Amino acid sequence: MALKDLLVYLDQTENSFLRLRLAANLAIRHKSHLTALYVREWNREQLDRRKTAELGLVSRQSLHRLDETIEASIEEAAERLRSMLDLLARERGVDAELRCVDGVAATVVAQSARYADLCILGPDEPEGPTSVEYTFSEQLLFVTGRPVLFVPAIESAATLGRHVVVAWNSSRPAARALNDALPLIEHADRTTIVMVNPAGFIDKHHGLPGEQLIEHLRRHGAAPDAIRIENVPAAEIADRLQEEALTLGADVIVAGAFGHPRLWEKLLGGVTHDLMARMRLPIFMSH
């Protein structure tokens, strides 16, 4: 499968401009069509302003003016994103469109992502108590049926997909993510396999040594290096993995996602949760 149809979700935050630039970079590299999806949805701060105004017993006219101000702000953000996308199309030749729709982002983005090869999202805050609910991004990882690429709020690199780090532990989620990321790996300038505590997972999963994975990726046109890191405490694996990737100059990590989306209790695997909670560079995940 090639990455020919990319979807990037945009919201009213400044982080959307970073996501859009990186998504455009990836689209150019893969000769993909990029759909920038902007959902006209009130954010939490805007909803809180409306609720505060209602509780303050302001006049209906004042509420109407507040609604108009918020709607204008939503449209202003859309126009700024449109201007940026037009500039990217003119200067860099990216094949892209901005699609502005009304609705609930959790529903609209999930449906749209099913018609794309890859969905690009940003980090977010949980809608409810973290012990019982998934964040918006985690939900999309579980329900889209497509790989998801999370971009942190901080700008860690100017490119996306030139140097790929594969987090490998011989598990089913890791194999799924690796397979979905093969188009990314095939177009990368460099690929590095990072195995944290490999002796432990080879015994646990009856996994094969990393040489087999190297041979597999070579058949896909890659020339991967492999790094083995032992004796890392479980609570530090996510941070150690990201530190290694940043030291190597990688611009994306490919990692399997562990989780149970159908349970009421939030049950993300420890490393998956830590990667998403303390994200320092883009992370490609599949479930």
69-86: pLDDT as tens digits: 999 999 999 999 999 999
Contacts of 273 (CB under 8 A, 6+ apart): none
**pLDDT of residue 265 exceeding 50:** no
Helix 270-277 to helix 237-248 angle (10° resolution) is 50
Model confidence at 131, pLDDT cuts 50, 70, 90, reads: very low
Based on the fold, state whether residues 173 and 136 are members of the same structural domain: no
**pLDDT on residue 263:** 44
Biggest CA pair distance of the chain: 70
Per residue in 237-264, pLDDT (tens digit) is 999 999 999 999 999 999 998 765 444 3
**pLDDT of residue 126 exceeding 50:** no
User: Which of these ranges, 54-68, 105-119, 217-231, 239-253, has the smallest mean pLDDT?
Assistant: 54-68
Percent of the chain with pLDDT over 90: 66
In a domain, 248, yes or no: yes
Where among 108, 143, 178 does a domain terminate? 143
d(CA 201, CA 167): 12
Mean pLDDT of the chain: 88
In a domain, 206, yes or no: yes
In a domain, 102, yes or no: yes
Model confidence at 234, pLDDT cuts 50, 70, 90, reads: confident
Please give the DSSP secondary-structure letter assigned to residue 137: H
Domains in the chain: how many in total? 2
Based on the fold, state whether residues 55 and 160 are members of the same structural domain: no
Model confidence at 132, pLDDT cuts 50, 70, 90, reads: very low
Based on the fold, state whether residues 163 and 139 are members of the same structural domain: no
Amino acid identity for residue 274 in this structure: D
Nearest Cα neighbor of 149 from 270, 47, 30 is 30
d(CA 28, CA 30): 6
**pLDDT on residue 283:** 95
In a domain, 151, yes or no: no
Based on the fold, state whether residues 238 and 126 are members of the same structural domain: no
Model confidence at 129, pLDDT cuts 50, 70, 90, reads: very low
**pLDDT of residue 207 exceeding 80:** no
Mean pLDDT of 119-140: 67
**pLDDT on residue 125:** 53
User: Which of these ranges, 165-169, 235-239, 266-270, has the smallest mean pLDDT?
Assistant: 266-270
pTM: 0.89
Based on the fold, state whether residues 138 and 166 are members of the same structural domain: no
Mean pLDDT of 215-231: 93
Helix 60-92 to helix 15-30 angle (10° resolution) is 30
**pLDDT on residue 135:** 75
Owning domain of residue 117? 5-143
Contacts of 200 (CB under 8 A, 6+ apart): none
Count Cα neighbours of 98 within 13 Å in the Cβ-side half-sphere.
23
Per residue in 13-63, pLDDT (tens digit) is 999 999 999 999 999 999 999 999 999 999 989 999 999 988 887 888 989
By residue count, the chain amounts to 287
**pLDDT on residue 59:** 86
**pLDDT on residue 21:** 95
Q: In this structure, what CATH number is given to the domain that contains residue 233?
A: 3.40.50.620
Based on the fold, state whether residues 89 and 200 are members of the same structural domain: no
